[in-house]
Amino acid sequence: MRFLTLMLILAGCPHGSPLEERPCTSRASEALERCIVDASTRHGECYRTNGQSCPADDPALVAVLDAVEPHCVDGELAGLGEAAVEERLRSACASEAAGLAWRAWGGPHGVAAESADCVGPVHDIGVELLADSMSTLRSCIEDDCARSGLASIRASLAARAEERIAAACPDLPSRIAVDAATFAERAAQQADCATATAFGEVDIPLSCGPSNADIGEIPRGEWTEVVVDGDKWGTQCGDGSEYAFWIRPAAEGAPLDNVVVTLQAGGVCLFDVDCAAVTALVPGLLRARDIEDYPFPVGIASADPTVSPFTDWTMLYLPYCNQDVFAGGGVVEDLGGGLQIPRYGAINLRAAVQMTRDWLWRELDAEGGEGYRPDNVTALFGGFSAGSYGTLYNYHWFLDDLLWPNTVAFPDGGLAVDNGELLGVGSLGALKIPAWGMQNLLPAYCFEGPCSGGEVLVNALSPRLQQPEQNILMLSNQLDSTQAGDAFFADDASFINALRQMYCDTRDLGGVHWFLGSESSTSVHVISTRDDMMTREVAGSTLAAFLERAVTDPMSLQSHVEEADFVDAVPGVLPIPCEP
C-alpha cells in the first residue's frame, strides 16, 4: 500500500472521492499534480541526457503542459475564466517542476548534473514528496481532515523524504548547497504554492497563497509599514526586536504586479570591535522600526516621472537591521566577550517578499482577469550599499525559489569588488558563510567562500540567467570612497582601477550590464537614490532610461561606461583597460 494512502487512513482522512464527483478545484489540483510529476520526469531526462533542464519549447515538455485540462467553467476557481484557469495551471506546472529540478541539479545549466547518480535520486524523492504533499492537502480540503491530523501526516512525509535524501546523497550540501532537511522543506513549500494555485483561498494552513496573506487592507498609492510576525516567519533584528518593512501599492488603475523591491543601506559589522561600536554608538542600525527607516521618495522611488519611470509601480522597501548585508541565515553569531549579533538578514528579506507575494495573490485573484501569475510579475530588485551586496546574494532566490522569472537585479554602490588581499570581500566569505548560516540560502551554483566576491558570483550567475528578461545591472559611481573603504581598499585610485578591471572582465557575460557614473570631483555613494544621478547622461543614456529599458526593452540593453577625467582628477587611476 502506498505510504501516503496508509497515512491518510491512519489519520482518519479518506483518500478522496471519485474524480467525476469532485469540484473544479479538486480536479485542478489533481491535474496540476500530475502535470508537475510528468514535467519533472521530463526535466530529469533532459539533465541526464544533455546536462541541463529542458528548454521551454521541448516537444515532450510542451505536450505535458498542453495536457492540463481541469474542465472548469467560468468562475469556479477564484472567479477566473476557464481559459485563465488552464493558463494558470500550465504556468504553475512549468515553474514548479523547473524550480524543483533546478534545486536538485544545480540550476537550469546543471552544474551538478555530472553527479547524476547522487542528485538524480534526490530530485525523484523531492518530486514524490511534492506530489504526496499535494495529495494530502487535496484530500483534507475535500474531506475536512482535522488540522492536527494534517500536520502529523505532513511531518511524517517530510521526515521520510529527508531520511531518504540523506541516504541517497550523504554529501548533498557540498554539491548543491542545501542539506536534506532544507531540500525536503522547500519541496513541501512548493506543494503549498501549487495547492493555492488550484484551490485559491482555503481554510487549512498553507505557507503560500492568498490564505497565507498577513498584510491586511492597505491604501493604494501610500506608504504603509508592515510588522512581521516573527514567530510565524522566523524574523528578527540585530537587537532582538521585531522586523518590519514598508509597502506602497501601485495607485488605482496601475497594475499591482509591477514591483520595485529595494534594500536599505547601512554598512556592515564583521568583528568584535566594529560590532561593539555599532551596538554602543548606533543601536538604530540594529532595529527596523526607527523613524529614519522611512523610505525617502527620491531617485528610483521618486514621485516625479521626470526622475523615475517607476512612479506608478508597487514599491517595497526593506529596512536593514542585522549588519549582515542581508545574507544571514537565521543564526546568532558569537563574537566573544558576551557580544552576540543575530544574523537574520536573508530570512527577513525573504519573509517580507513572500508576504508581499501572498498579498498580491489575494488582491489579483480578487480583481479577476488572469488572477495572480508569477510569470506576470515584472520586478526590479535592488539595494543600496550594504543592500547592494544583499541584492547580489539573493537575486537567485527570486528566480529559483520565488519563481518570478521577469526579475531584474540592480545592485548599487556595493558591488563586492575584491581587493585580492587576505582582508578582502572574497576571503571573508570563508569565515562569514558558515558563521552567518548562509550556505543553505546561497545558489546551488556558487556557495563557497569566494562566492562572496562580486566578480566570482556574477560569473556563476550569468549562465543561469535566461535571456532576455533576467539581467544584473551593476550600478556605481566610479569615485566612491565609502564603497572603497567598505571593501578594504587602501585608497580611491586602487578601488577605481579594480572596479574598471571588473567591468572589463564581466561586461561580456550574458545578462550582466554596467552603468558607472562619471562624477570625478566628489565621491558619490549610491546613484539610484539621487535625482541628479538618475537624470545625468553617461555614454548616451541616463540611469533612469537604462533602468526602464531593462524592463521594457531588454534586448536593447548595453553597458554605459566612459573614461571621463578620472586619470587626471584622482592620482593613480589608470585608463579603463578595455574599450568602454
pLDDT at res. 11? 45
Please give the C-alpha separations between residue 472 and each of 220, 468, 482, in angstroms, as whole numbers.
29, 11, 22
**β pairing state of 331-336 and 339-343:** antiparallel
List, for residues 86-141, the tens digit of each pLDDT value. 999 999 999 999 999 999 999 999 999 999 999 999 999 999 999 999 999 999 99
How far is it, in rounded angstroms, from Cα 420 to Cα 230?
A: 39
- Which DSSP string corresponds to 440-501? GGS-TT--SGGGGSHHHHHHHHGGG--TTT--EEEEEES--HHHHHHTT-SSHHHHHHHHHH
Band (145; pLDDT cuts 50, 70, 90): confident
Domains of the chain, each with CATH number or no CATH: 3-212 (no CATH), 225-569 (3.40.50)
Q: What do you get for the CA distance between the two ends of the chain, in Å?
A: 66
List, for residues 343-391, the tens digit of each pLDDT value. 999 999 999 999 999 999 999 999 989 999 999 999 999 999 999 999 9
How far is it, in rounded angstroms, from Cα 242 to Cα 269?
A: 20
- Section 152-166 average pLDDT: 96
Please enumerate in sequence order all residues whose Cβ is within 8 A of that of 579, keeping only pairs 6 or more positions apart, or say none.
none
DSSP lists the bridge partners of residue 244 as 227
- Section 283-308 average pLDDT: 86
Band (73; pLDDT cuts 50, 70, 90): confident
Length of the chain: 580
How far is it, in rounded angstroms, from Cα 512 to Cα 152?
A: 46
- Section 274-296 average pLDDT: 86
How large a percentage of the chain has pLDDT more than 70? 95
Band (293; pLDDT cuts 50, 70, 90): low
CB atoms within 10 A of CB 580: 18
How large a percentage of the chain has pLDDT more than 90? 89
Q: Which sign, positive or negative, has the C-alpha torsion 526, 528, 533, 539?
A: positive
Tell me phi and psi for residue 401, to 5 degrees: -115, -50
3 state DSSP class of 10 = helix
List, for residues 518-541, the tens digit of each pLDDT value. 999 999 999 999 999 999 999 999
Across the chain, mean pLDDT equals 94
How far is it, in rounded angstroms, from Cα 321 to Cα 183?
A: 28
247: DSSP letter? E
